[in-house]
Amino acid sequence: MNGAVGGVSVGARLRTMWLMFFMAGIGISVWAITVPYSKIKFDLSDGTLGIVLFAGGIGGLVGMPFAGMAVGRWGSRAVLVAVSTGVGVLLPFLVSAHSALEFTALLFVYGTLFGALDIALNAQGAVVERMSGRLQMSGFHACYSLGSLAVAVASFLLLRLGVSYA
């Protein structure tokens, strides 16, 4: 199907999904590269860091079932807009937390939102894939990986240039 659906072309919907998956890859990777900095900033042992990071995973487990219910009620696009906005707003607070406790609490919320983002993103991807009439999901996930790779390369270059985390 190449025609417009609801006034928006399938091509535009595909490009939007590629961008959303790319941005999700950036969102998780921007946070991930700050883990060593947070460990030093809060003087966390390896074991304590593991417990702190576990909060994000628990948050994801909490967010995913609620995201599924929300997608069923309001649709994947509406949930995707809401949770991706939440992830974007929360990320700067997460990386600028003032204490290990604040970092842990924010990481739980970030995990909750990112788990919900994962569900909504893949649900909306499936909708757009059906509209296109072709397999698209592997391309969407490739865009996620490219977003992560972009952050890794940018981080490497910045660190190589002497820019520090602080």
Please state the pTM of the whole predicted model.
0.90
**pLDDT-derived band at 109, boundaries 50, 70, 90:** very high
Q: Is the pLDDT of residue 2 over 60?
A: no
Residue 4: what pLDDT? 59
Cα gap 94→31, rounded to integer Å = 8
Cα gap 87→111, rounded to integer Å = 9
**Domains in the chain, CATH or no CATH each:** 8-158 (1.20.1250.20)
Residue 8: what pLDDT? 85
Residue 147: what pLDDT? 98
